[in-house]
Amino acid sequence: MSTNNIPELKEKAENVKKILKELHQGRNIEELKSKYGDVLSSISPFEISLIEQKLVEDGVKIEEILKLCDLHVELFREYIGSREIKDVPKGHPLDLLIRENDWILKEAEALTLYASALLKAQEEDQIRNILAGFKETILKLTKIRLHYRKLQMLIFPYLERRGIIAPTRVLWGREDQARLKLRQLMELLQRVEDKFDPKLVFDTANRAIETARDISELVFRENKILYPTVQTLLTEGEWAAVSNIAESLGYIIDTGDERWRVDTKPILPYEEETIVTREQAERLPLEFRAVIASQLVEPDTYRVKKDGDMDLETGFLSPEEAKAVFKSLPIEITFANEEGRVKFFTESMLSKGFVRTKTIIGRRFEYCHPPRLEDTVRKTVDEVKFGEAGYREFWTRNADRIIRVLIVPVKNGDGDYLGTVEIVEDLSEIVNKPEEVKKRIMVI
C-alpha cells in the first residue's frame, strides 16, 4: 500500500526521519522523548507501520528504523497509560500483560520493516538475506498464542460472569485470525525457501504487512479498551486468582523477580455473583459503556457446585457424574495405592484393553499380571515411586490390537507418593493407519 498520497503521513514520516537522524547521532531516548514525545505518541500502531513502510521505500536501512521501535513502544505505552491505565503496580498481571504488548508491538513493527524491505529488494541474494530476519521475527511472534491464551482463559471469564459477552467473543475472534495469518505466513515462507519465486515473495511480504497491522491493532484494542475495563471491574481477589494461574502458564517476556503479592483470597469467576455498578460503568471506555447501556447485559448467576459434589480441585463432580466420566474415557485406568493394592479401576465403553473384574479390588497390583511379568511390574513401580523415572511406557499386543501401557506415579500437592496408576490405551488405528489419521488432523 503506497503512502505517497497521504500528506499527513508524509509529514509524520519526515518527523520520524529527523528522530532517526538524531538517534544515529547518539542522542539518548530520554532526550528524544522530551523533544518528540507529542509527535510520536500521536502516531497509532496502524500509522507507524505505514510510515516505516514509507521509510523503507525511501531507502532508510532496516537497522536504523529498528532503533526507533524501542522509543516508539515506550512512548506509545506512556501515551496510552496517561489516558486510560493508571497506578498499575509493578509485577501485577495487568502490568505484565501490557509489557507483553510492548514486546508484541515491537516485533510487529519489525515484521513490517522486513516485509517492506522485501518489496523493495530486487536481487535474489538480497531477498534471501532479508528473509532470515523476516523468518526469525515471524517465529518470535508465534509466541503471541500464550499472551492471547491468558486473556481468553483468565480475563474473559470474569467479564462473562458479569454478562459482558459480545466484546470478548469479538476480541477472541480477532486474536484467532491473527494467529491463523501468522501460521499461513510461515507456510508461504516455507514455499519461498523451497523454490524462489518473485511473485510469491511479493505476496508473502504484503500478507506480512497486513498481519503486522492486525496484531498492532489488537495491541491498541487491548491497551486502550480491554485493560482499562478489567482494571475498573476486577476485584483484588479476582486479580489474585489471575496472578496465580498466569504464573503457572508463563509469560512471553522476561518478567524478572518482581511480583505483585496480596494476602487476599483468590476468587474464581464461579465463586461470585457480580454486577457492573453504575459508578463502574461510568468509568469504562466508551466501547464497553455502550454494551452496558444497551441493557442486554445479564450477569451469569449459574451455580456450578451442587450439594453432594466432590471438590476435585479443578472442578466439581457428583459421584454419579464421576462414574459416568470414567466410563466414557477412551482409556482404562487401574489405581494401586501406596501399599500396592488395587483400589480402583475403570470400565471404558470405548476401549477394551485387558480383562479386569471387581474381584481384583484389594489384590496386589503385580498379581494382576502374569507371573513372568511380576518382577518387571515391581521394578517399574519402584522406579516411578522413587523418582527414577517420571513414568514408564510399554507397548504390547492384545489379539489384533496394539496397546500402549503407561505406569505413572500418583502424588499429592506436597509431592508425597499416594500410589501408582496404570493407563491402558488402544492405539491400533494410529499405528496401523497413520496416513489416514494425518488426513483427519485439524490444526486449532
User: For the chain (length 444 residues), average pLDDT per consecutive 10?
Assistant: 53 74 71 72 61 68 67 58 73 95 92 91 88 94 96 96 86 92 94 90 94 90 89 95 96 90 94 86 78 72 93 94 93 96 89 84 95 95 94 92 95 94 93 91 79
Decide if 319 contacts 332 (C-beta within 8 A): no
Position 169 scores a pLDDT of 86
Q: What H or E segment, with its residue span, contains residue 397?
A: strand 392-398
Position 286 scores a pLDDT of 73
Residue 375, SS3 per DSSP:
helix
Position 66 scores a pLDDT of 67
**pTM exceeds cut of 0.85:** no
Half-sphere exposure of 83 (CA within 13 A, CB side): 12
Q: Give the residues across from 411 on adjacent strands.
A: 417
Q: Give the residues across from 392 on adjacent strands.
A: 407
Q: Give the residues across from 408 on adjacent strands.
A: 421
Q: How many helices (H) and strands (E) does the chain have?
A: 18, 7
Residue with cell 481477589: 237
Position 1 scores a pLDDT of 39
Position 283 scores a pLDDT of 83
Where do the domains of the chain lie, and which CATH numbers do they carry? 7-271 (1.20.120.520), 311-439 (3.30.450.20)
- d(Cα 416, Cα 34) in Å, to the nearest integer? 58
Position 52 scores a pLDDT of 64
248 burial level (CB within 10 Å; 0-12, 13-18, 19+): exposed
Position 57 scores a pLDDT of 66
